[in-house]
Amino acid sequence: MATTTPAPTEAGTAAAPAADEPIARDRERIDELDRRIIDLVRERMEVSARIQRARIGAGGRRVNLSREMEILTRYRERLGRPGTSLAMTLLELCRGRV
């Protein structure tokens, strides 16, 4: 026995565009947040590079593992387990692969 999908009613088609408006606004907000996050990551990369140059210039190592553990813990505590992955990605972007 074949099933048929009922044709949309006028009320059903009128509601769809109204529902799309908040989605479009929220997507614009996400796009703006992503732009800000990317700008902040780039700034973090610059600051990290300055710290690395200063540390190496003073005879130290490029990477401070205890500091990185602090960062990993902070992200995990605030964002849960996926926060660790996010922090690892940030650390890799900012100091390169170890």
Could you report the per-residue pLDDT of 37-86, keeping only the tens digit for each? 999 999 999 999 999 999 999 999 989 999 999 999 999 999 999 999 99
Q: What tokens appear for 11 in the block?
A: 């009320």
Q: What tokens appear for 61 in the block?
A: 């190592």
Q: What is the pLDDT of residue 77?
A: 98
- C-alpha span between 96 and 68 (Å, rounded): 13
Q: What is the pLDDT of residue 97?
A: 74
Q: What Cα–Cα distance (Å) separates residue 26 from each residue in 3, 10, 13, 84?
A: 36, 26, 21, 27
Residue-wise DSSP of 20-63: HHHHHHHHHHHHHHHHHHHHHHHHHHHHHHHHHHHHHHTT--S-
- Residue 19 confidence class, pLDDT cut points 50, 70, 90: confident
Q: What tokens appear for 49 in the block?
A: 């590079």
Statement: residue 35 has pLDDT above 60: yes
Q: What tokens appear for 70 in the block?
A: 């602090």
Question: Pick the residue with more confidence: 20 or 1?
Answer: 20
Q: What is the pLDDT of residue 16?
A: 65
Please give the single-letter amino acid code of residue 73: T
